[in-house]
């Protein structure tokens, strides 16, 4: 117990990402500075203004679950299920340890079953309403991933989805943290998942002028904090983590990767897509997270930046970090892994939270690649080009999303 509230620890993680089909493979790719961005090959993008994305390559769901089970899942649910399997396996649990009623699931996503909806719209237009799949309704909804995980693993505790655009994964982990902290659950499988890649997804963000159009060199397109950045790169994937109360983890002899000590969410209430010009909401979220953690800014050894590679986000986020951390901002490594993974929308913050845990556990900080000509207004240590060996005792994961959402998580070395 800490101030009458239960401590929350991370005991397992799993990932399906554009740079790896497991969390170890993803982590090694990030340390190697490998880009997962390339020309789209999962559908015909020839008529689109942007012809590249960060796709998950080589994913065969039938290697993990039966064809019948897979048929009842949209791609975003398949990602979440497989990532959850890995997270539970790492944690040493295949099913809830103890009472199933105390095991919860919280998953963040943004556009949910977009692929299934688009394919069925085509069926509706060509063949009529009678040909619509009977499983469309339960597979396209935002709770579909959590429902399938509960069915598969027998989790009977709180189960819901969180949608806050690009901070959804962070908010899902934060809500899982609060459930355990306030004794509503003993363990929660939390994270984010997204499969937005298709003509409508790319076209929509192109229309919003949010995507990079660097069609001549896709792997150089995601370039957070670089003066030549021109937008983000759409990606897909999932990242899940097992959260437990400290007592629950110790009772079963679990290996503890890190402690989750704070979560704070705010909103700018400023603009539909643009961040508050002075970073006011992000500043409040970072300060609130530090307050909840009972930590001074100087105790944070690494920040995984939201770092989207858009003109406004990178400048405003840098401004906010400097406002919160003062002179320590210049001594603290701040890297943007979206330079390699692209932007996984509702899953991206969950993956970046996992990166913070691994930075603490492994003593390494992944780089920001493609940072060739730093923007003068973005003047922090973004760990350019190469991973760095750093002893990290505490890390913050930043998420700033369309709609003015700001969500911050703080992880600390368990002791």
- Residue numbers annotated as active site: 166, 306, 343
Residues 6 or more apart whose CB falls under 8 angstroms from that of 170 comprise 108, 192, 263, 265, 349, 350, 352, 353, 397, 399, 407, 408, 409
> Taking the alpha carbons of 54, 58, 61, 67 in that order, is the dihedral positive or negative?
positive
Residue written as token pair 């970046």: 352
Residue written as token pair 């039966």: 66
Nearest to 64 by CA among 16, 104, 103: 16
> Taking the alpha carbons of 128, 130, 132, 136 in that order, is the dihedral positive or negative?
positive
For residue 216, give Cα distances in angstroms to 38, 39, 202, 219: 11, 10, 17, 9
Nearest to 215 by CA among 41, 50, 343: 50
Return the ∠ at Cα 67 (arms to 62 and 68), rounded to 5°. 150
Q: E strands within 353-404?
A: 364-365, 388-389, 394-401
User: What is the H or E stretch that residue 314 is in?
Assistant: helix 311-325
Return the ∠ at Cα 49 (arms to 45 and 50), rounded to 5°. 65
Q: Are 53 and 235 in contact (CB under 8 A)?
A: yes
Beta bridge mates, 374: 226
Nearest to 185 by CA among 8, 338, 37: 8
Residue written as token pair 């209430």: 269
What is the pairing mode between strands 334-335 and 302-304?
parallel
Q: Are 397 and 342 in contact (CB under 8 A)?
A: no
For residue 230, give Cα distances in angstroms to 106, 312, 400: 33, 10, 18
Residue written as token pair 């899902």: 172
């Amino acid at each position: 117990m800490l101030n009458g509230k239960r401590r929350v620890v991370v005991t397992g993680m799993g990932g399906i990402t554009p740079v790896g089909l497991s969390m170890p493979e993803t982590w090694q790719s990030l340390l190697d500075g490998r880009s997962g961005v390339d020309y789209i090959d999962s559908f015909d993008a020839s008529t689109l203004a942007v012809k590249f994305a960060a796709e998950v390559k080589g994913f065969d769901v039938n290697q993990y679950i039966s064809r019948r089970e897979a048929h009842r899942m949209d791609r975003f649910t398949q990602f979440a299920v497989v990532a959850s399997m890995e997270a539970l396996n790492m944690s040493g649990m295949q099913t809830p340890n103890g009472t199933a009623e105390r095991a919860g699931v919280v998953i963040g996503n943004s556009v949910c079953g977009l692929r299934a909806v688009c394919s069925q719209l085509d069926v509706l237009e060509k063949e009529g309403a009678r040909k619509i799949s009977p499983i469309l309704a339960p597979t396209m909804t935002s709770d579909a991933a959590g429902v399938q995980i509960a069915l598969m693993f027998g989790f009977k505790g709180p189960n819901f989805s969180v949608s806050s655009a690009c901070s959804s994964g962070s908010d899902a982990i934060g809500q899982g943290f609060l459930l355990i902290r306030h004794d509503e659950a003993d363990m929660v499988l939390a994270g984010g998942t997204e499969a937005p890649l298709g003509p409508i997804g790319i076209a929509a963000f192109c229309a919003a002028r949010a995507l990079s159009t660097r069609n001549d060199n896709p792997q150089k397109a995601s370039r957070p904090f670089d003066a030549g950045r021109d937008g983000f790169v759409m990606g897909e994937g999932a990242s899940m983590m097992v959260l437990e109360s400290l007592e629950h983890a110790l009772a079963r002899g679990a290996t503890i990767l890190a402690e989750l000590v704070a979560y704070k969410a705010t909103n700018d209430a400023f603009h539909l897509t643009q961040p508050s010009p002075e970073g006011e909401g992000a500043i409040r979220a970072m300060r609130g997270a530090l307050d909840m953690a009972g930590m001074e800014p100087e105790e944070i050894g690494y920040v995984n930046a939201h770092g989207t590679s858009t003109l406004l986000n990178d400048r405003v986020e840098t401004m906010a970090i400097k406002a919160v951390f003062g002179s320590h901002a210049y001594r603290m490594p701040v890297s943007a892994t979206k330079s390699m993974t692209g932007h996984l929308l509702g899953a991206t913050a969950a993956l970046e939270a996992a990166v913070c845990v691994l930075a603490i556990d492994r003593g390494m900080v992944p780089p920001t690649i493609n940072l060739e000509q730093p923007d003068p207004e973005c003047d922090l240590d973004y760990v350019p080009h190469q991973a760095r060996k750093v002893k990290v005792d505490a890390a913050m994961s930043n998420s700033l999303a369309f709609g003015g959402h700001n969500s911050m998580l703080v992880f600390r070395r368990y002791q």
